[in-house]
Structure 1
């Protein structure tokens, strides 16, 4: 190295002499000098003592069973030669950063770090900058940070240095895919024993960075939550007059590590019962109790919301829609998607089921982002309580998705308030509302009105719905309502409003069947209950006799989708209609129905058929000629096995589409 330095000094002397004579040094000479300085700095940094691990301050997970178990999972993966990239993911505030900080600090022991020559930590963050991350790596490796150096040149220096190391790189808080080559990180080979750990709120980000294994960090259970909460709140949480309230405050944190720490610390030393009750009320109302809650819990989760993207669709509004349902409520995925379609949040594709599938893919995207999770029942989803609080908080501040939500709070009547003219969605689910106001409540932009679960409600006054000219989704199921008001048909005539089409309606059997059965098709076609070629939505009707009546009208060729839902009434007559464009039929709880149709040509474009509790139907109106459009048949296996067929070819061609319920 000494000879090279002498050579460098000699070249510099010649350059200075040449400049004195008016000469300019050749670019190759200047480049050689720069490369020499880079190599010299690298050699010096390698020779300089660099700690294998730098301790990172943070809360310990000692005594936390779930977190300790996750830590052991990651440690085991570090010892697995087939795993080079590990993704640690979970919703904001659940403890991902705390987990990897504890991992980093645990690796301070010599035996733990044996496979690695250095552990490198870099924080990426949402509004990340490649240069800033490179600077963190340079400083950790004792490499010079050069002002004005291009990112490409920095990446080259980092790559040369890291090639000489068996490193573990921890990238914390990653929000989008990172090009590791562009960053300057060598692509690890098995013999190098180099590994990368990243933390992210999104499983999709982990997949894009091609992680080999993912470890999901879940919320703490009730016992561990209380333990962490009291560690931060102190002995005051266990005082006799405080503990019952403190227990409820702890539950409102829903097992989120960050929320438990922040809320607990904010209540430390507060012995006044009123202060604890105020905190509990604020948490239950989805209002940030302290600035720390807003900044460190709500805002990180809002960042997840802000970064949502799915094929150009309005996934953010779809997410906010879920907050209309009660806390811990299992939402049927298909019902949710139908509401999204009705609101225009999911693209209307040529085939209705394609739109449903697009919506289901969107649900999966929200689950991968930790903003939705599996519900308690099959094919359902729910929101984590804190995520729901955040979504309500966002919706209340949104000019486009403003919502009014009072669900499950025991209301016996609608509150006497004046709705904001900008409110888009209203939900009074699962209350005890007995009556609705019989006067005009101006809600010009409300597109969804959810009133299901109000069992004492028996009447919808004529004047009530006239205040909702933009209504697209109306749910009156699980109420005592017997008939639908005629004003439902007059919504399109509201002064100054465009025609209304209620695209998704869910009603009691009595309301749906009685009203629809006794009304002419044209009236309901205009109001949007029955889909047409212009309004190809999924309608809800009550009995097969209605399908027959509809098909006999002049509009039978326009009907594309009719869904039979939940009625205990027997069909008066079997369907013998011809509805050539019908694509989807769902038949539930009509035990006396014995046949769908006597004419196979009735089902020229049918793609989906679902039959539940129809054990008396012995024959389907299909032949080898009209069975080629079918894509799915759902029903009980016993029902399918006892069906009668005109020929075995038809049965064989349809067998592949049968899905037992």
Structure 2
């Protein structure tokens, strides 16, 4: 029978322990040594005792390791949690990237913790076997194997904890190889994407051209190529740049510089050649892919500083253009030039249906079939399909659709070869559908501006008023409202595009071409001469100046206007942004109908010709940012003014708008003349002293009704300013204080509050270089303020003083403070500590920009501020890291709003 083991033991302790194990009350603390002391009696042979001792030792070791593993895993979890918090702060607040070694450690920790937790969960059944057997396991091999697993993972946990001490958890992320670009879903462009990508893989191919009609999808295709670079692994540094007809090399240089980190404060002052050298020195050491959108002529890559792609450097240039000849000039191999064709019928109808809406197509059984005819007239051109599709979205009857088809078919043949014949007659339908001739004239007027030019909406409306394109409305406010209504209608018709917070509009280049085509081919009333942004160096010539009604030569390089133009019907003349030095005296002699004249941004132009006084029909004159010293009207930021000739302003008897902001000299001398301008309903003035402002306020006609913009500049005669007179102005919408070095305070008086409508129309406030001002609490009296811009006020400590608000009981706790504010810009304010002491709602706020305001640690925001708005907060990364938040909820709300400025 072998060795017989006789065991005598007290059952109560074992039963109790087994019961504990079974109920989970003492899973990890079965101490066999205590159990033996409680009554274990053994009578064994030496061999059996040795076997027994081995089992007892193994069991005790297993239980000790279980205890230790529990403690070590708990510590590992705490260490992992702390490390993850550090990583989150570094990534979210500091915009850093987690180190690879930290990511690897966290991944290993997660795997190890999961494994350890599984073993701990399984341990009760193994411990139970120890208890049920009294002193020995009934399954010794299983117990041994489990104990070995516990020991191994315990060692791994201890080792991982020892390696979890990281001084740094993140670093500044590398510049991405490509920036993701927003792009509409491709419509039948996948094959072109693959074709371009396949061409890119060929070592011998350095330059790839993409060409086709305007609006066919070339830019969309280039966007897709860019995003494919972003989504795939490669060794290219991808640069996106847009060229256009106006100074294409300089514009591309600036975009490249920004992408590769060369754009700084000194960049703008460099010559084109200097910029090219800097760009070349960086790109020659990189393998790059330059995606160049919308070139109109041969682009001098070397002149821009771009190394020519070769097999040796492996770089690539991919460009889009509308012209095949440009493709051939850039590189001669036609296999590397890819033409983007119009959409086939099926894909064209899908795009049209998406824009017109399936609901419209189902309004009547005949509409869907008629829609196919409209799509056919669009000839598969995406831009035409989109434009006309949106125009037809509100057409719910078959008759409207039948008219649309007939209108598209009846358009006259284009004088433009190819492009005009294939596209403009179709696109013109949106133009034909405008409500009346007034809307159409306003639309065509926009083509005077250069391609891709952001047009200020207010400036555009003022030109329309000057031209007489709007209704004869005596109320200026109503006229401007009508102008903005027309702009909105043109945007709805996809003939204009919103730009930059809806302050500007842009005309798509294809739509602009269509407008010029309409003027050239069909319009009997409108005869335009447009040479804007084409780098003219001399005064152009034309065959029939007498027919021209509007002329634009803006954004060129013309220095002298020395030839008389006989333009008896000319009403608008744009000469903005040239290099003008000389205009002959009789230049304006034969322009009796001229109503709008823009000479702005000609900094070398120091005087106007005598003949300008003969422009008796003039209603809008812009001389902003010129060097003119003798000025009749509208001085806006022209700081060189020395004299305004007496009796000259009154000769412009039809003037409606007179702007003299920033002139700083002679304003008072012509106020009496202004009283003779019976049509004048807008006046802007600049003053250089408090006494001058006080004297001007005596001209009640202008200060009560006409004045719209005031500049207070360079005050030297007063430390305190009482702006009571300005507070009462009915139409004041912009106020600027600049370089008022002695000014210490702007007084708040109780009678301002009691006055009805104080600063009721004020929308914009600019403070620049007022170094002794400590606060600008007076802006609380501007309930409709939309823009607050403060720059280089060295002594400014707070925007709104709680102490000063406390002096005015009616305003304490004012919940409407900044309720209309859209943009807040604070720059170079070294002592600024507070904007406002309490959080504000900011229901309209869109952007906050804070630069070099090191002492400003807290923003007047809480988790309820700017609700429903996409607020953008721009500033330096170092400043953003130190911002103090009201609570964690506020921090979480605004962390995604930050965009760094450099």
- What is residue 463 of structure 2 aligned with on the other side? 339
Please list, as runs of the form range in 1=range in 2, the aligned pairs for 1:344-423 lying within 5 A after superposition. Answer: 344-375=468-499, 379-397=503-521, 398-423=523-548
TM-score scaled by length of structure 2: 0.39
* C-alpha distance in 2 between matches for 1:574 and 1:643: 24
CA deviation digits over 1:590-635, x for unaligned, max 9?
A: 3548889868457754323313453736438982336357223311
* Cα distance change on mapping 1:470 and 1:412 into 2, 3 Å: same
- What is residue 558 of structure 2 aligned with on the other side? 433
* C-alpha distance in 2 between matches for 1:101 and 1:353: 44
The answer on 1:633 being equivalent to 2:789 is: no
Please list, as runs of the form range in 1=range in 2, the aligned pairs for 1:39-54 lying within 5 A after superposition. Answer: none
Conserved in 2, the CA contact under 8 Å of 1:601 and 1:626?
A: no
- What is residue 288 of structure 1 aligned with on the other side? 416
Conserved in 2, the CA contact under 8 Å of 1:320 and 1:391?
A: yes
- What is residue 115 of structure 1 aligned with on the other side? none
* Cα distance change on mapping 1:121 and 1:363 into 2, 3 Å: closer
* C-alpha distance in 2 between matches for 1:200 and 1:636: 40
CA deviation digits over 1:151-186, x for unaligned, max 9?
A: xxxxxxxxxxxxxxxxxx9996699xxxxxxxxxxx
- What is residue 447 of structure 2 aligned with on the other side? 323
Conserved in 2, the CA contact under 8 Å of 1:557 and 1:580?
A: no
Compute the displacement of 1:365 (Å): 1.5
Conserved in 1, the CA contact under 8 Å of 2:442 and 2:464?
A: yes
* C-alpha distance in 1 between matches for 2:725 and 2:600: 35
Aligned partner (choices 620, 623, 631) of residue 506 of structure 1? 623
Compute the displacement of 1:303 (Å): 1.4
* Cα distance change on mapping 1:557 and 1:324 into 2, 3 Å: closer
The total of aligned residue pairs comes to 414
The answer on 1:563 being equivalent to 2:677 is: no
* Cα distance change on mapping 1:415 and 1:445 into 2, 3 Å: same
Partner-residue secondary structure (3-state), 2:423: helix
Partner-residue secondary structure (3-state), 1:449: strand
* Cα distance change on mapping 1:374 and 1:545 into 2, 3 Å: same
The answer on 1:619 being equivalent to 2:619 is: no
- What is residue 575 of structure 2 aligned with on the other side? 451
* Cα distance change on mapping 1:402 and 1:527 into 2, 3 Å: same
The answer on 1:489 being equivalent to 2:645 is: no
- What is residue 776 of structure 2 aligned with on the other side? 642
Any gaps of 5 or more consecutive residues in structure 1?
Answer: 1-58, 71-92, 107-118, 125-129, 141-168, 176-197, 211-285, 493-499, 529-533
Compute the displacement of 1:549 (Å): 2.9
Conserved in 2, the CA contact under 8 Å of 1:581 and 1:605?
A: no
* C-alpha distance in 1 between matches for 2:351 and 2:736: 53
Conserved in 1, the CA contact under 8 Å of 2:351 and 2:386?
A: no
Greater relative contact order (CA < 8 Å, ≥ 6 in sequence): 1
Compute the displacement of 1:314 (Å): 0.7
Aligned partner (choices 580, 584, 592) of residue 461 of structure 1? 584
CA deviation digits over 1:523-571, x for unaligned, max 9?
A: 313315xxxxx74335345425444333355828965322359xxx966
CA deviation digits over 1:1-33, x for unaligned, max 9?
A: xxxxxxxxxxxxxxxxxxxxxxxxxxxxxxxxx
Please list, as runs of the form range in 1=range in 2, the aligned pairs for 1:83-122 lying within 5 A after superposition. Answer: 99=347, 101-102=349-350
* C-alpha distance in 2 between matches for 1:611 and 1:390: 40
Compute the displacement of 1:432 (Å): 1.4
Compute the displacement of 1:328 (Å): 1.4
Please list, as runs of the form range in 1=range in 2, the aligned pairs for 1:40-439 lying within 5 A after superposition. Answer: 60-63=188-191, 99=347, 101-102=349-350, 201=388, 203=390, 206=393, 288-290=416-418, 293-309=419-435, 314-375=438-499, 379-397=503-521, 398-439=523-564
- What is residue 229 of structure 2 aligned with on the other side? none
Compute the displacement of 1:435 (Å): 0.9
* C-alpha distance in 1 between matches for 2:689 and 2:578: 28
CA deviation digits over 1:349-399, x for unaligned, max 9?
A: 344233223222222221221111234686222221111111111112322
TM-score scaled by length of structure 1: 0.52
Compute the displacement of 1:403 (Å): 0.2
- What is residue 283 of structure 1 aligned with on the other side? none
Compute the displacement of 1:199 (Å): 6.9
* C-alpha distance in 2 between matches for 1:449 and 1:313: 21
* Cα distance change on mapping 1:417 and 1:633 into 2, 3 Å: closer
- What is residue 474 of structure 1 aligned with on the other side? 597
* Cα distance change on mapping 1:121 and 1:603 into 2, 3 Å: closer
Compute the displacement of 1:458 (Å): 0.9
CA deviation digits over 1:443-481, x for unaligned, max 9?
A: 0111111111112x1122111011211111111112111
- What is residue 580 of structure 1 aligned with on the other side? 700
- What is residue 663 of structure 2 aligned with on the other side? 543
* C-alpha distance in 1 between matches for 2:624 and 2:490: 28
CA deviation digits over 1:226-246, x for unaligned, max 9?
A: xxxxxxxxxxxxxxxxxxxxx
Compute the displacement of 1:426 (Å): 0.7
Compute the displacement of 1:295 (Å): 3.3
* Cα distance change on mapping 1:205 and 1:120 into 2, 3 Å: closer
* Cα distance change on mapping 1:98 and 1:436 into 2, 3 Å: farther
* Cα distance change on mapping 1:449 and 1:481 into 2, 3 Å: same
* C-alpha distance in 2 between matches for 1:103 and 1:304: 17
Conserved in 1, the CA contact under 8 Å of 2:387 and 2:493?
A: no
Compute the displacement of 1:123 (Å): 8.7
Conserved in 2, the CA contact under 8 Å of 1:202 and 1:370?
A: no
Compute the displacement of 1:405 (Å): 0.9
Conserved in 2, the CA contact under 8 Å of 1:330 and 1:377?
A: no
Conserved in 1, the CA contact under 8 Å of 2:360 and 2:394?
A: no
Alpha-carbon RMSD = 4.8
* C-alpha distance in 2 between matches for 1:337 and 1:313: 16
Any gaps of 5 or more consecutive residues in structure 2?
Answer: 1-186, 194-219, 225-340, 378-384, 398-413, 634-641, 782-803, 826-902
Conserved in 2, the CA contact under 8 Å of 1:483 and 1:515?
A: no
Conserved in 2, the CA contact under 8 Å of 1:509 and 1:542?
A: no
* Cα distance change on mapping 1:98 and 1:535 into 2, 3 Å: farther
Compute the displacement of 1:442 (Å): 1.0
CA deviation digits over 1:410-447, x for unaligned, max 9?
A: 222112334332211111112211211254x2101111
The answer on 1:590 being equivalent to 2:713 is: yes
Compute the displacement of 1:338 (Å): 1.1
* C-alpha distance in 2 between matches for 1:599 and 1:122: 57
* Cα distance change on mapping 1:61 and 1:369 into 2, 3 Å: same
